[in-house]
Structure formats: structure tokens, C-alpha cells
Amino acid sequence: MNTHPPERPRILLHDPTLRDGHHAVGHQLDADQLRAYATAANAAGVPVVEVGHGNGLGASSLQIGRARLDDATMLTTVREALTSARMGVFMAPGWGTSGDLAAAVHRGADVIRIAAHCTEADVTERHLGVVRDLGAEAQGVLLMSHMTGPGELAEQCALMAKFGAQAVGIMDSAGHYLPSEVTGRVHAIAEAVDVPVIFHGHNNLGLAVANSLAAVDAGAVVIDATARGFGAGAGNTQLEVLVAVLERRGIETGIGLREVLSAADVAADRLMKAPPSIDSIAVASGLAGVFSGFKRPVLESARAEGVDPVDLFLALGERQVVAGQEDLIGDTARQLKAATR
């Protein structure tokens, strides 16, 4: 169909299926599963395959959930499966350390995301510098970005660019955004920085693909998407759908549709019992603006204390909890139970 020589991809799709998807399975993917999907994504021409515990390097813990495999095993397994794709990892300062970054680069990580909560970009200064010194590509991302507005996000992204980030952007960690909100934020960030802008969507309100398209139209260049939407809560922007949508819009990604559909089928067969769906809990958490990765621990605490998980999500939203504060889930459930007695 395309008679022109292939253009340089205008949009780079970054695939955290093997990282964000870990939230959907309690961080329990095994090496065969990692290898199977990494091989398929690599064959489809996915440019960056991200791997790790759901909360990234160093995050395997009682607090957030212990992964089946340690970071070293996950990275080594995926690295061996990638021939053309680059390997990505994610790290939030305070969860992982510079030692984890050095170990990741040693095991072949090419692209390293340093994450901070939306107003806390100055915690990325040291680690963005460490990534640059290690010679990997450094990117800076802001979590739970719906908690603040376009102006502050633009300032925070400009800070990360100043610290050495070679791409910066925002994650809709709670799946809370409407497309118009994404447009305003991405536009403000793109105006404020000279590096590519990243957008990472979640599908709690059914808008992950629409939000990703809005991000592209507002100037984002790196879009995160996962096979079958495998990811925290209601899942992420669905990779194969986004490839199809961008193809309809005439936007080159360098990824073949047939091949990415095959990769997504591998993900469906090998990684998950069922693809993520927008169940009632997911809608409540998106509306409450709570981190999607809280879904499993919220269901567990709600069951243990006999409270409604929707009420628990709304109460956590009231407290403006952020990722990493899983210790508040049980306390909040007990308080809810006490209040309803």
C-alpha cells in the first residue's frame, strides 16, 4: 500500500507490557513469559520493550508486592530476546537507587525512565545525572499527573530536561484524564521543553487510546502502549489498537500491523488469564484519581475488612494517596469499617 520509501517514524511507541502488566498479575511473570512476549514484540518492530517489577527497579517488596523474578533475571531474560528493540526500565528514586541503575545498564538497559510524582521532579536530579553518566538514554516521567495542572507540569518537565532528561512527560497513572485535559497538558509541556514529550495512558474511563491520540495531536512524540492493554487497573493504552489508529491517521510508527497483532496474541495467550477490562472498580478508581496499581491490594483489604471496594477507592482518593503508599490501604479500610458500624 505504501509506495513511498519508509519515513523515519514520527511517533515512537514505548511498550511497558512486561513492566506495567506486572500489576495485573501480582508481579508474577516468569522467564518463559518474558521471553515469549519480548521475542514477539521485537519481531513486530516495537522500538522499546520495557521490563521490570510493576513499580520498577528496586520496588519488589512486601509493601508493593514481591516479584517472582529478581530485577537481574528479568533484564537478562528480555535482553537476550531483543535483537533490534531497545530495552527500557523504570525507576522511581526512593524505591530504587543508583546501584539499581548501574546494575540495569550492566545488564543491557538502553532507555531508563526516572519517575517522580507530579510535583516532585527535583527528586530526579541525581538519578537522571547518574543515567547520563552511565551512557544510557535518560527519560523523566511524572506520575499521577492529573493531580496538578498544565503550568506546573510544564515547569516540572522543564526541570527534568535541565537535569539531563532526553525525553520528558506525564503518566495518567489513575486513568483519570479526558482528552481535552491531555491536550492542554501536553501542549504546555511541548512549549516548555526542547526534548520529545512522553504520554502514558490508562483506560479506567475508556479513553486511553483517545487520550493518546490527543497527546500526539498536541505534540507528544513518545507514546506508551501495551499489548491487549495489559497493565495496572483497567489496563493501559492498547498497543495494537493504537498502531491501527495511528495508521488510519497516516502516522508512521515503524511497527507492522500484522506483526503487532501477532505479538498481542502472544501476550493474550501467554501473559494473562483475561485481558484487562473496565470493571466497576476500575471506573471508581479512575474517577477517584487513585493509582491504578492499587486495584489488587484494594480488593484484598476490602475483602478482609468487609467494606465495599468502591467506597475504599473513593476514601483513598479523598486522602490523595500516591503510588508507594500501599500501607495506607489497610488502615483506610479499617477506618471505613469503624465508621460504618
Partner 1 sequence: MAADEQRLRAAVLGAGLIGVDLADRIRRSGKLELALVAGRDRDSLGLRRAAEMGHPTTVGGIRAVADTGPFDVVFDATNADSHAEHWAALRPTGTTLIDLTPTGLGTVIVPGVNSHRSAAHQHLNLVSCGGQAAIPVLYAISRHCTPSYIEVVSTGASASAGRATRLNLDQYIATTSAAIRTFTGAQDAKVMVNLSPARPAPPFRVAMTVLADGIRPAAVRTSIAAAAQAVRAYAPGFEVTSLAVDPGRIAVAVEVTASGGRLPRHAGSVDIINAAAVLLAEQSAAASR
Distance CA 295, CA 286 (A): 11
CB 192 within 8 A of CB 158: yes
Question: In whole angstroms, how close is the CB of 22 to partner 1 at the nearest point?
Answer: 17
Q: Please identify, among the stretches 11-19, 24-32, 144-152, 244-252, the one whose residues bind partner 1 according to the rule CB under 8 A.
A: 144-152
Question: In whole angstroms, how close is the CB of 60 to partner 1 at the nearest point?
Answer: 9
Does 106 qualify as catalytic in the annotation?
no
Contact residue for partner 1 among 11, 118, 218, 267 (CB under 8 A): 118
Residues of span 57-76 touching partner 1 by CB under 8 A: 59, 61-63
Distance CA 147, CA 129 (A): 26
Q: Which of 14, 22, 23, 187 is catalytic?
A: 23
Question: Is position 71 annotated in a ligand binding site?
Answer: no
Question: Is position 117 annotated in a ligand binding site?
Answer: no
Residue 320 binds partner 1 (CB under 8 A): yes
Instruction: Look up residue 81 and give its three cell numbers.
Output: 530476546
Nearer to partner 1, 102 or 268 (CB): 102
Distance CA 89, CA 95 (A): 13
Three-class DSSP category at 83: coil
- Pairing mode of beta strands 111-117, 197-200: unpaired
Report the C-alpha dihedral over residues 309, 312, 318, 322, rounded to 10 degrees: -80
CB 118 within 8 A of CB 141: no
Residue 322 binds partner 1 (CB under 8 A): yes
Window 80-109: contact mask with partner 1 (x via CB under 8 A): -------------xxx-xxx----------
Listed residue (271, 269, 199) closest to 237, CA to CA = 199
Distance CA 235, CA 78 (A): 22
Question: In whole angstroms, how close is the CB of 252 to partner 1 at the nearest point?
Answer: 37
Nearer to partner 1, 252 or 305 (CB): 305
Nearer to partner 1, 98 or 262 (CB): 98
Checking 257-264 for CB contacts under 8 A at 24+ apart, the result is: 259/43, 259/44, 259/45, 260/44, 260/45, 260/46, 260/227, 262/40, 262/43, 262/44, 263/37, 263/40, 263/41, 263/43, 263/44, 263/46, 263/227, 263/239, 264/227, 264/228, 264/238, 264/239, 264/240
Question: Is position 27 annotated in a ligand binding site?
Answer: no
Contact residue for partner 1 among 73, 76, 148, 262 (CB under 8 A): 148
Residue 162 binds partner 1 (CB under 8 A): no
Question: In whole angstroms, how close is the CB of 268 to partner 1 at the nearest point?
Answer: 33
Question: Is position 19 annotated in a ligand binding site?
Answer: yes
Question: In whole angstroms, how close is the CB of 95 to partner 1 at the nearest point?
Answer: 6
Residue 5 DSSP class? P
Question: Is position 32 annotated in a ligand binding site?
Answer: no
Active site residues: 23
Q: Which residues are annotated as a binding site?
A: 19-20, 173, 200, 202
Binding site for partner 1 (CB under 8 A): 59, 61-63, 93-95, 97-99, 117-120, 122-123, 125-126, 144, 147-148, 319-322, 324-325, 327-328, 330-331, 334
